[in-house]
Structure 1
């Protein structure tokens, strides 16, 4: 079923935690074995070659990103110490997000069969964007294994936001106030997302929480030193600070806008409910329509259902899998949610506003 609506709040709850996957989100746990709906879908997908690698696509994608990065660098040098660099900062925010998308794909082993080759691509892109690749893969792995799970999905562990009534009741102090008005604060808060990615990355390396800790520390240090040196050598201190704020802020907004429509506003899962792998991934995910422009804009994350079912499926194959997966889910009565880009943001904000309502009107909530 194609649906623009958010499934009922009383819908699916928590599945079993399943096995920890070996890569960022490989299938595992209940319902993924022989004879399940998912195993049948896997056979259909493999018959169409949709899990085959697309090395030429990724070579072209990385080359294109390299050209865009070079164009941004030339703009930066040519404009020099000018307020026009605010425009350069906006351009580079877009480029950084496209680089991050490739790092995401490498973390899912979409580019090469070899883990080492994918990790090399991921580490390089992590260095260019200032994100710890090892930290991100570990965090993202937990998300894929437990999408929208109140207790196990790190993407729901955001102090300033509440994604369910249960979460809203736990908020205290300034975070409680922010959760009250989270629908209004959501997009402004995304301005901090880029900075927070750097902070979490550095913290993970300092605490030695990543596997290749020495390599990651060197790459992050190289990024920070090179980034700040170039910015402050070309720009005056005030312009440099404005450039950093605009670049990092818009990068965070773009990243947040790419990931937010995927699960926010979909059913959250909590203790007591068992779902097989297919339903756990499909019922908690939302696709975004829009054709090739949206494919580029969101880095293939607009096919969130297909991506969650087949994390290692190369990005360009997701659009070909979409119709097959949609028909398969519909034939089995599994709700398949998709909508337009702006509609997806409206659903996210509507959900956040509804979750914050009991905090804004506690007496009404208690009477109900």
Structure 2
């Protein structure tokens, strides 16, 4: 049996065996695989590992050499290979166990995932332990480290920038910074309850405590976003526990639902259909291609030429209390996230215990959704102003820097903007370095801007009110494209 046949026969065992490196090459020092078959000189060093089921069967496999053309064929959900630092990994069977969700891996199937891998994982040494059993080969020596459509100098410059920032300790979190933000949230929650206890449940008091709870909820959104990306504690279980506390207990939404949805957005921002944040059809048509597609097919679920108007009536007030809330509950139930269900239940129990004696059960439910209703425009503007006006497209497989730059923009820095947006006014830096704590974004922004200038990439930084307006202007532009295609 040929080596390739053996590898194909054992492919399903990729996650259970430890591959080995061929220790010699042809006399010219290079291996060629023009016909897809690796050539060896017969001298192969084999490392053996027992099967995980304890039966003691010994499996053997040697690393194969692949071209980009071969790797790019494995880009389906049932057949997923990806490349990290020139090593080829078969993640097909393991994708369902991936903590960030199986779709994140599928979004990079058949591609180089090196920079995305580094961006999304803070402690690479731990993640490497999971990668080792999935290793099936490496790029052939004559193959470039990235796909041929990528600019190798740009990729190298970005990686050098990351090394510089790591040397500057820009990825270390200041726990006091986040502790103060958590203290702000808890103080607002307690203050709302104390005011209610002292002054009763009149209309003026209800409006005041709704305002305090809205600020608490919005700031909880930003804090859970930080914790979801960062490892603030040396032991990950504490970070995991804190994320459950803030997202599930303080906000009443599923932490796992947020992780799986948000990480897809980060690895492929504004890429349709890989980014769930731009998959809002048939209610809204975003970007340039989707409106034309709907128009040519004569699809008119809603009068899309008015979508910039019902954005104010639908998206702003209903994003949090209806869309996110319903989706979170649906995902928790369907995927059986029992831990999240228990944590989210504690959110409602806390509200009923705290506010139930004053408003009753029905009144407390109304208070919860009133707060979410008021919070919704805040979160909608902050999350959408840096993406909806930017380029949206189908998969083009650009380098990491270009992918993030064309899909994001920044909002001018000020004390209010930093607080109001949870430092997501530095959306470019956040997307390039998701595991960087937000208190360091302003420090690295000049370096990122300089790199963009060097490579001719547009670094957009705009006033916050203009950013709000650009959302509506973008919706109007998409509506015009739909009308042109629909009525032609």
The CA deviation at 1:277 is 0.6
Q: 1:102 to 1:249 in 2, by over 3 A?
A: same
Q: 1:248 to 1:105 in 2, by over 3 A?
A: same
> What residue in structure 2 maps to residue 10 of structure 1?
none
Tell me, yes or no, if structure 1 residue 310 matches structure 2 residue 444. Answer: no
Equivalent of 1:116 in 226, 237, 240: 237
The CA deviation at 1:219 is 0.8
Alignment of 1:1-368 (within 5 A): 19=113, 25-26=120-121, 36-84=156-204, 85-109=206-230, 111-126=232-247, 127-159=249-281, 160-168=283-291, 169-170=293-294, 176-177=301-302, 179-188=304-313, 189-195=315-321, 196-208=323-335, 213-228=337-352, 230-235=354-359, 240=364, 243-271=367-395, 273-360=396-483, 366=488
- In structure 1, the residue corresponding to 2:221 is in which secondary structure? helix
- Gapped regions of structure 2 (runs ≥ 5): 1-106, 125-145
Q: Distance in 2 between matches of 1:201 and 1:156?
A: 17
Q: Deviations over 1:284-327 (max 9, x none)?
A: 11100031221111001110000001001011001111112112
- In structure 1, the residue corresponding to 2:446 is in which secondary structure? helix
Q: Distance in 1 between matches of 2:428 and 2:397?
A: 19
Q: 1:96 to 1:32 in 2, by over 3 A?
A: farther
Q: Name the TM-score, length of structure 2 as normaliser.
A: 0.65
Which structure is richer in relative contact order (CA contacts within 8 A, separation 6 or more)?
Answer: 1
Q: Distance in 2 between matches of 1:236 and 1:350?
A: 43
Q: Answer whether contact 2:410 2:460 (CA < 8 A) is retained.
A: yes
Q: Distance in 1 between matches of 2:348 and 2:151?
A: 42
Q: 1:331 to 1:359 in 2, by over 3 A?
A: closer
- Gapped regions of structure 1 (runs ≥ 5): 1-14
Q: 1:179 to 1:291 in 2, by over 3 A?
A: same
The CA deviation at 1:146 is 0.5
Deviates more, 1:241-250 or 1:281-290: 241-250
Q: Answer whether contact 1:58 1:111 (CA < 8 A) is retained.
A: no
Q: Deviations over 1:49-76 (max 9, x none)?
A: 2112211211222122222222222223
Q: 1:269 to 1:76 in 2, by over 3 A?
A: farther
Q: Answer whether contact 1:32 1:38 (CA < 8 A) is retained.
A: no
The CA deviation at 1:100 is 1.4
Q: Distance in 2 between matches of 1:267 and 1:197?
A: 24
Deviates more, 1:156-165 or 1:143-152: 156-165
Q: 1:71 to 1:149 in 2, by over 3 A?
A: same
Q: Distance in 1 between matches of 2:118 and 2:233?
A: 13
> What residue in structure 2 maps to residue 6 of structure 1?
none
Q: Deviations over 1:126-148 (max 9, x none)?
A: 22100100110111010001100
The CA deviation at 1:241 is 6.0
Q: 1:178 to 1:251 in 2, by over 3 A?
A: farther
Determine which structure has more spread, i.e. the larger CA radius of gyration: 2
**More helix per residue: 1 or 2?**
1
Q: Distance in 2 between matches of 1:361 and 1:113?
A: 56
- In structure 2, the residue corresponding to 1:158 is in which secondary structure? coil
- In structure 1, the residue corresponding to 2:271 is in which secondary structure? coil
Q: 1:274 to 1:208 in 2, by over 3 A?
A: closer
Q: Distance in 2 between matches of 1:319 and 1:100?
A: 21
- In structure 2, the residue corresponding to 1:262 is in which secondary structure? coil
Q: 1:180 to 1:100 in 2, by over 3 A?
A: same
The CA deviation at 1:262 is 1.7
Q: 1:74 to 1:138 in 2, by over 3 A?
A: same
Aligned length: 347
- In structure 1, the residue corresponding to 2:385 is in which secondary structure? helix
